[in-house]
């Protein structure tokens, strides 16, 4: 057999296979039709939608709680009602330790004299001797007590509303590193 004859045989075989497949196509279609008729689709019912009830806001005619005028009036009332009258003495002469923030000041020791205790405070390389009544720190901190373990202070600071309030602070004795 020659090459062209072999090619012809292969083409005939391919055509035979194709034609055989076409005969089975009708059987497949018939099966599919039967399956469609026997199969009944099931679709579940969708739940009824909920009824939307809009919310009626009844406070639209009321005064806005965030109105700046109302806030200013409330702050003014608070200031008028607070009878403390705490405020720092801005006219007094400042002491040397008031120029440093409190966290920069360290207590390094104490001195005892008859009836009077002094604390030794260090800022950078400067040494200061202080007693009850002296001022320390940038928040008008007045020393209220000197003990061997620390110095108690009463600072006067402004709160969020601008009111002057007192707060307590303490400088603890620092251990020597040498």
**pLDDT, tens digit (0-9, with 9 covering 90-100), for 102-160:** 999 999 999 988 889 999 999 999 999 999 999 999 999 999 999 999 999 999 998 87
Alpha-carbon gap, residue 138 to 157, rounded angstroms: 10
Between 136 and 73, the higher pLDDT residue: 136
Alpha-carbon gap, residue 75 to 32, rounded angstroms: 83
End-to-end Cα distance, the chain: 111
**pLDDT, tens digit (0-9, with 9 covering 90-100), for 5-30:** 777 777 866 766 666 655 567 888 88
Cβ atoms 153, 144 nearer than 8 A: yes
User: How many residues are present in the chain?
Assistant: 178
Alpha-carbon gap, residue 122 to 144, rounded angstroms: 18
């Amino acid at each position: 057999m020659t090459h062209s004859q072999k090619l012809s045989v292969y083409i005939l075989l391919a055509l035979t296979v194709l034609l055989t497949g076409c005969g089975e196509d009708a059987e497949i279609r018939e099966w599919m039709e039967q399956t469609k008729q026997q199969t009944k689709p099931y679709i579940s019912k969708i739940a009824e939608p909920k009824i939307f009830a809009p919310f009626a806001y009844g406070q639209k005619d009321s005064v806005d709680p965030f109105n700046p005028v109302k806030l200013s009036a409330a702050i003014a009332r608070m200031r008028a009602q607070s009878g403390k009258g705490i405020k720092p003495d801005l006219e007094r002469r400042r002491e040397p330790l008031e120029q440093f923030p409190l966290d920069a000041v360290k207590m390094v020791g104490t001195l005892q004299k008859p009836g009077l205790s002094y604390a030794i405070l260090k800022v950078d390389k400067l040494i200061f001797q202080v007693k009850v009544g002296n001022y320390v720190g940038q928040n008008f901190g007045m020393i209220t007590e000197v003990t061997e373990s620390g110095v108690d202070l009463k600072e006067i600071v402004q709160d969020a509303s601008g009111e002057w309030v007192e707060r307590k602070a303490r400088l603890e004795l620092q251990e020597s590193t040498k």
